[in-house]
Structure 1
Amino acid sequence: MALIEESFFGLPTTAISDALKGFQHMDSGIKPLNNNHKIAGRAFTVNIPAGDNTGILRAIREANPGDLLVVDGKGYTERAVSGDFVLGLAKDAGIQGIVLDGAIRDIQGIRELDFPVFYRAATIAASLKIAPGELQVPVSVGGVSVKPGDIIVGDANGVIVVPKEKEEEILSITLEKIKKDEEREKKYRGSRASALQYLNGLFGEK
């Protein structure tokens, strides 16, 4: 039997957003480095001081394979808190991907890793290593509260957070939404007549 987080994998974040009534999506500044990358998994949360990546290194050591690191980097973009070496460690440790409200560097090297990274910006300067950060605590990433164990789903459109206490309900609503969208697509796409049929119905015209 598939884990519920696996059932979310590949579902459009747009449909999940509809199920959540337009809430719980991270702001538009956080996007994937590679638009082909998709993620869906449990949040392993990391709270770090701006520009310091010690907490990320600790998280890579302590997270379980398949976890997603969700990092509150305070939106700070003048120092990169992950580069290709650190993210290579994460990939080797079995981390599914990282969502970072902060900056990365070594863009080409990260592309070559083929490791899902959702981030706010890229810069050149290296991180600090002063403070240990906090692991598995509630954080705010991209303007959304994230608790340890929440389901995180990401694709080319962005990242959305499914609260773990609502995950089964939201999965059910999302699947129903996708089914209805597919039925609408089949009925109203493909010709001028079908397109006008939909639009006339939308505006109450015969």
Structure 2
Amino acid sequence: MIFKTSDLCDQFAESKRLQIAEPLLRSFGGHTAFSGRITTLKVFEDPVKIREILGEKSEGGVLVVDGGGSHRCALLGADLAKLACDHGWEGIIVYGCIRDSVEIGRLPLGVRALHTHPLRSHKRGTGERDILITFAGVNFRTGHYLYADEDGIVVADDPLV
């Protein structure tokens, strides 16, 4: 799928179908452009639910994780990113930190996060899936569509391309 977020903004920004994320997240994955149907997850310093979801087969989905913006540890590392690739995920958005950024940068996966952090997170198994999560000025909902490239991230209720 070929798209440019700037073109999507030009075409759809006047409608109420498009949300544009504030430029808070850095690109870490091997793919700088990616898109797909959103699955949401809210966790705090706990990757167990992330692993569960990324272990499910996906047909080009994007996992959006609200990690509370924590800078105290990483929610995603190379092992989870590889798991995502193996199961057909197109991308992962983390409102928090990742680690193993060099390895993740070699994978055919789009990854956006706030920063890197070398410490892994705690494993408690807590979190909420498929709920409304909000960060970067966007309301992310399971079933909506995300488009990301070098210029930014946009979210729409329905497929745009």
AA in 2 matched with 1:151: Y
Is 2:51 the partner of 1:57? yes
Aligned residue for 2:70, secondary structure, equals strand
User: Which residue in 2 is equivalent to 1:110?
Assistant: 104
Shift in Å, 1:31:
2.9
Structure showing greater Rg: 1
User: Which residue in 2 is equivalent to 1:43?
Assistant: 38
Gaps of 5+ in 2: none
User: Which residue in 2 is equivalent to 1:90?
Assistant: 84
AA in 2 matched with 1:144: V
Is 2:140 the partner of 1:140? no
- Partners in 2 of 1:102 and 1:156 — Cα distance? 19
Aligned residues: 158
- Partners in 2 of 1:92 and 1:62 — Cα distance? 10
Aligned residue for 1:109, secondary structure, equals helix
Q: 1:129 aligns with which of 123, 126, 140?
A: 123
Alignment CA distance shift 1:159-1:63 (3 Å): farther
Identity of aligned residues (%): 27
Is 2:8 the partner of 1:16? yes
Taking structure 2 as the reference length, what is the TM-score of the superposition?
0.87
- Partners in 1 of 2:2 and 2:134 — Cα distance? 24
- Partners in 1 of 2:120 and 2:26 — Cα distance? 21
Across the aligned residues of Structure 1 and Structure 2, the Cα RMSD in angstroms comes to 2.1
Instruction: Give CA deviations for 1:58-81 in whole Å, capped at 9, x if unaligned.
Output: 211335231111111111122100
Given that residues 46 and 125 in structure 2 are in contact (C-alpha distance below 8 angstroms), is that contact kept between their aligned partners in structure 1? yes
Alignment CA distance shift 1:143-1:73 (3 Å): farther
AA in 2 matched with 1:30: L
- Partners in 1 of 2:55 and 2:118 — Cα distance? 25
AA in 1 matched with 2:60: G
Shift in Å, 1:17:
2.3
Taking structure 1 as the reference length, what is the TM-score of the superposition?
0.70
Gaps of 5+ in 1: 1-8, 176-206
Instruction: Give CA deviations for 1:37-66 in whole Å, capped at 9, x if unaligned.
Output: 2111100111112x2112211211335231
- Partners in 1 of 2:86 and 2:31 — Cα distance? 20
Given that residues 70 and 141 in structure 1 are in contact (C-alpha distance below 8 angstroms), is that contact kept between their aligned partners in structure 2? no
Shift in Å, 1:36:
5.3
AA in 2 matched with 1:133: G
Aligned residue for 2:118, secondary structure, equals coil
- Partners in 1 of 2:121 and 2:35 — Cα distance? 27
Aligned residue for 1:41, secondary structure, equals strand
Instruction: Give CA deviations for 1:141-199 in whole Å, capped at 9, x if unaligned.
Output: 323101111010000112111123xx4xxx3xxx8xxxxxxxxxxxxxxxxxxxxxxxx
Alignment CA distance shift 1:35-1:88 (3 Å): closer
- Partners in 2 of 1:59 and 1:119 — Cα distance? 18
